[in-house]
Amino acid sequence: MNIHDLLVQARTCRRFTGDYLSPEFLASLVDCARVSPSARNDQVLRFAIVSDPAACERMNSLVVLGGALTPEQRAKFHQHPRGFIVILGPEKTSDFIMMDTGIAAQSIHLAAAEAGVDSCMIGALNKKEVAALLNVPEGLTVYLGIALGRADEKRRLAEPRPDGSLVYYRDGDDVHCVPKRKLEDILIIRR
């Protein structure tokens, strides 16, 4: 599969099956982030993995998966993620931390997809409580969470809505639709 096809396939997932994800598998995804580019090669990111079922459920209570969905459309208990990777970094750092976080998250997302595992990057999480749950060392803070598991939903790319809205939604068949702009709408300069 080429990278474009993998990117199309690797849609964010918010409903998962009950398949267990081992700590070794989650660590292998972190290793993909480890070898990814880092701004100035500072390599300031640190990671936490969560695979223990009780800890995963506690994490589930600290995140919002699908803020644009109605409560009825969100994952039920049996559809919660079965693993998490949390990206950590120094509390005091440069703006480059956001680049490194994005690069690491995308590396994890694509490596998981290649392995047949789906994911959701989560910014809507209670960072203070997640840090307490994980016993994050002093001086580090939570930047991003990534939920992982095998998909229990269908997802597809869609055209923007007639009003131009890009907000994701579930269609009449309960398929998760992700509107994307056309290439000609975003590629604005060619020289």
Whether the per-residue pLDDT at 70 is higher than 90: the answer is no
Task: State the average pLDDT over residues 89-102.
Answer: 93
CATH number for the domain whose boundaries are 3-152: 3.40.109.10
Strands 176-179 and 46-50: unpaired
Whether the per-residue pLDDT at 72 is higher than 90: the answer is no
Average model confidence (pLDDT) across the chain: 94
Q: Rounded CA gap, 86 and 46, in Å?
A: 8
Asked if 145 and 81 touch (Cβ cutoff 8 Å), the reply is no
Domain limits, the chain: 3-152, 154-191
User: Whole-model pTM?
Assistant: 0.94
66-97: burial string, b at 16+ Cβ within 10 Å, e else: beebeeeeebeeebbbbbbbbbbbeeeeeeeb
Whether the per-residue pLDDT at 65 is higher than 90: the answer is no
Task: State the average pLDDT over residues 117-139.
Answer: 96
In the prediction, which pLDDT does 30 show? Answer: 98
CATH number for the domain whose boundaries are 154-191: 2.20.180.10
Whether the per-residue pLDDT at 166 is higher than 90: the answer is yes
